[in-house]
Chain A
Amino acid sequence: MTYTTAIFYFFAAILVFAGLRVITSRNPVHAALHLVLAFFTAAALWMLLEAEFLAIVLVLVYVGAVMVLFLFVVMMLDINLDRLREGFWDYLPLAGFVAVLLMIEMILILGGRHFGLEIMGTPAPHPADYSNTRELGRLLYTDYVYAFELAAVILLVAIVAAIALTMRRRKDSKYIDPAEQVRVKRNDRLRIVKMPAVKKPETGKGEGA
């Protein structure tokens, strides 16, 4: 067993364990944190495949942003797992069927004649100065530029739609416009009132009176 193989099995074991804990953990926060661990170890496995850009982006996007927001929501909600598990046995046959179907598909692809280890072989290792990021960028912005731009536009539409659907501006809520605050002049807020003295101060009688 080579060094890389040993590392692969080490990370693979952690990944499988984390994946299992995601679905068996009784505490939703623990489940989300195990999902973070699963993403992180998956990134390590991608690193072994020399896909360092994808690995780093997986950590940056999924671990650094998506899962943070996910945890945010999970921590705020009071999720009752026992209620969620009601009807487990009713759904088991359907879920089992889907699981078996997925298994068959994976076996057909991964174990088949077309994608087996004998056919695909090990990709040639790249020299140290090979930049995975640069190659990926070149492909994305030349050969696949239409697909890439389309995906970006679809995401943008989804963002706009999500904001449009959830944005409710309450009429009675007070909010501050900083630009307006900065422009405030003394005369807008302050009024100096001159009042004539009602009674003429009496002279010569001590000052504290």
Chain B
Amino acid sequence: MESMGMDWATVQTVVWTLIKILAIVVPLMLGVAYLTYAERKVIGYMQVRIGPNRVGFKGLLQPIADGLKLLMKEIIIPSGANKGLFILGPILAIAPALAAWAVIPFTDTLVLANVDAGLLYVMAITSMGVYGVIVAGWASNSKYAFLGAMRSAAQIVSYEIAMGFALVGVLMAAQSLNLIDIVRGQTGGFWQWYFIPLFPLFLVYLIAGVAETNRAPFDVAEGESEIVAGFHVEYSGMAFAVFFLAEYANMILIAALTTLMFLGGWLSPLPFLPDGILWWLLKTGFVLFLFLWFRATFPRYRYDQIMRLGWKVFIPITIVWIVVVGAMMQTPLGHLFH
């Protein structure tokens, strides 16, 4: 009976954690909704059009209208599909995209779970995201969907290696796997941020991040011009919307990680300005803008070129730079690298 007090404390912790999770997921979902709006507007202006401007003031209610439309549409399950896995596909896609946010710090105290091996956790969880695509592609029982799934599997596995090596450079510089410690290692103005000593790794991480989220110019898994819509060609209504949410949540996640590991997270660029979550939002927003800019600028890569870039360019660059960082740390110039 004396464990009753313990249980009450446990219940309190669980409820409090749930509230915190909501406080992360709700703004994230709003962020996703308005990222789609921002994407259409930004790409619109880059292509000299105005983008959505009909629903609400300057089209600001467009994402809400799109969400409602998708919610009310019928979810069609193809008769030849593997029903259980067909429904599991979108769930497997969105679950890792949300779970990874558990360890992302917004300031040095504002974090859901301050895990020692936070960086490894993020890598492990995001590597699960590919199952959503593969399972969806296979369960649809359609050749286009299956081709999309196969492409996506090969592409994500390839770029994960380069991404992992880029992170090895970061953890060598920070001497920690904890995301808060990694940001703290970059204190003292923008010239202390890791994107300067680790510039090649920064580029590789950013580009591999675009490939990892299946965004243009690496969006061969969808490839509208050759395989219709790739892995989600058979999905409609909310099931399709969940894939969409997962893709954009992953984009924001990669942007946030780039911010934390290379751009100093919540730290201000000049030492006399106050640090805060505003900087975090600004930098993440900037990286997201790069994602949209890439999409508006580059034509889609050919599949063999994607593989070449991943295996023959990025992985050698990262390995060489890890050796450079390791060697430099042993020289008098070592302080430049951490």
A interface residues (Cβ-Cβ under 8 A, vs B) = 3, 29-30, 33, 36, 52-53, 56-57, 59-60, 63-65, 68-69, 71-72, 75-76, 129, 131-133, 176, 178
Contacts and interface: CB of A to CB of B under 8 A. Distances in A.
B157 A60 contact: no
27 contacts: A29-B85, A30-B85, A33-B85, A52-B115, A52-B116, A53-B117, A56-B120, A57-B124, A59-B127, A60-B127, A63-B124, A64-B123, A64-B124, A64-B130, A64-B160, A65-B127, A65-B157, A65-B160, A68-B157, A69-B157, A71-B153, A72-B150, A75-B146, A132-B117, A133-B117, A133-B177, A178-B305
Interface of B: 10, 85, 115-117, 120-121, 123-125, 127-128, 130-131, 134-135, 138, 146, 149-150, 153-154, 156-157, 160, 177, 304-305, 308
Contacts, number: 72
B120 A68 contact: no
A65 B117 CA distance: 19
A168 to B, nearest CB: 17
Contacts of B10: 3
Given A56-B121, A68-B157, A133-B120, A75 B138 contact: yes
B116 A60 contact: no
B120 A57 contact: yes
* Residue from B121, B124, B138, B153 whose CB has the most chain A CB atoms within 10 Å: B124
Contact of A72 (B85, B115, B127, B153): B153
Nearest to B137: A75
Given A29-B138, A65-B160, A133 B116 contact: yes
B contact patch SS: helix
A63 B127 contact: yes
B324 to A, nearest CB: 20
Nearest to A60: B124
A144 to B, nearest CB: 20
